[in-house]
Amino acid sequence: MDIHEYQAKELLKRFGVQVPRGGIAYSPEQAVYRASELSGDKWVVKAQIHSGARGKAGGVRICASEEEVCDAAAWMLGRKLVTHQTGPQGKLVSRLYVEEATAIAQEIYLGFVMDRKLERVVVVASAQGGMEIEEISANEPDSIIRSVVDPAVGMQAFQAREIAFSLGLEPPLIAQAAKTIMGCYALMSDMDANMVEVNPMVVTRAGEIVALDAKISFDDNALYRRPEISELRDKSQEDPRETFAEDRGLSYIGLEGEIGCIVNGAGLAMATLDMIKMAGGDPANFLDVGGGASPERVLMSFQAVLNDPKVEAILVNIFAGINRCDWIAEGVVRAVRELDLDLPIVVRLSGTNVDEGRKLLAESGLAVIAADTLAEAADKVVTAWKDARYKEAS
């Protein structure tokens, strides 16, 4: 789960990280009021969306008057910002963060991520801040500093100082930088985050270390014990297909194809996507219906798949162990009848109660295409999809 920049900064402040003063605004008038509260002669108006590269899309404006603050806010609010991370659909701006301008002397990149291979938190830092870590890696590979944190003892003060020294900071700044690094790690550890990124962390002309921008992502599996973090979720920034599925306990990832997939087990789901590609089609989603799926859960899976308007055919691929094929078949029959489906549906069943499941489908009188193997199912769904397209075009 991602959160907005202003929410990330509030959390960082709780862990002793210095951030610029700012306030949230939902209208141009409120943005002007926030600027007057902050005083000063320059402010930064920032669109709050779950994406990087906001500045390139016009989502970050430096303003030298309250009129400019008002104009920037009016331009951003209600607009869909399109960045390389949002895709062409963009993300809607419904709130802004108005922040005091900071006089920058140096920009630094600081990130904390989970390394799945090492099973450790890794600190990634670079003296070349202000751009994406991919750009830094490509343009300044020698500037990247990596430090692995031992989970048995956590981030140690000496380790934080070593990172600060490696960044080439002046001696008076080392203690401040180390405090920032320790605070970021404490947040990540204590709040079940799986990424904390401060980019840029800046050295101001007044000689202070400040987190100028921040991104934090949290482990969805730990949100049950972090209700205060769950409340920060903004569903308007999420893919509505994935939100619908997640709220119903389904594992769903939206893709760009036309063939919807309903599968049990992540490994089988990945294999199903590959087989559809090999057969000449494009999968519209990854969906793991899970073990012990009831007919109601299968129906919800169909609804989740059909929330994607691009879906033109559906492949149901079940290898039942904990699941039961007759339950799956009952769910398929209910979905076709209750949702009044007229698109091609291919069902491959194998495992527990497979004969009962196939009998239910055969006796339903529905135009459901049966398949015995995954390869056969993939070929049949792609063929049926192409035939349906041809008939529609004719």
Q: Indicate if 197 belongs to the active site.
A: yes
Q: Is 264 annotated as a binding residue?
A: yes
Considering the domain architecture, whether residues 251 and 209 belong to the same structural domain is answered as no
Average pLDDT across each block of 10 residues of the chain; the chain has 394 residues. List them in order. 96 97 96 94 95 90 96 96 86 95 94 93 90 77 90 94 95 96 96 95 95 94 92 88 86 93 93 96 93 85 94 94 89 94 94 93 93 95 93 80
pLDDT score of 221: 87
Q: Which residues contact 73 (CB under 8 A, 6 or more apart)?
A: 25, 27, 28, 31, 32, 45, 96, 98
Parent domain of 171: 104-230
Asked which of 69, 100, 131 is the last residue of a domain, the reply is 100
Q: Are residues 79 and 207 both part of a single domain?
A: no
Q: Is 99 annotated as a binding residue?
A: yes
- Set 6, 97, 109, 185: catalytic member: 109
109 carries an active-site annotation? yes
- Are residue 285 and residue 384 in the same domain, yes or no? yes
28 preceded by a cis bond (ω within 30 of 0) = no
Asked if residue 42 belongs to a domain, the reply is: yes
Let me know whether 261 and 388 are in one domain: yes
Among residues 5, 100, 197, 258, the one annotated as catalytic is: 197
If asked whether residues 363 and 252 sit together in one domain, one would say yes
Whether 46 has a binding-site annotation, put simply, is yes
Considering its fold, how many domains does the chain have in total? 3
CB 344 within 8 A of CB 389: no
Q: In this structure, are 96 and 143 located in the same domain?
A: no
Looking at residue 160, what is its pLDDT? 96
- C-alpha 75/C-alpha 86 separation (Å) is 19
> pTM, whole model, 2 decimals?
0.79
Kindly provide the residue ranges of all beta strands, DSSP E only, lying in the chain, ordered along the sequence. 22-25, 43-47, 60-63, 80-81, 91-92, 96-100, 104-115, 120-126, 144-149, 193-204, 209-211, 214-218, 251-254, 259-263, 285-288, 313-320, 345-351, 368-371
Residue 60's contacts (CB-CB under 8 Å, 6 or more residues apart) are 44, 45, 46, 47, 54
- How far is the CA of 67 from the CAs of 33, 39, 63, 113, 300, in angstroms? 11, 14, 8, 40, 50
Q: 383: annotated binding-site residue?
A: no
Q: Give the pLDDT score at 306.
A: 94
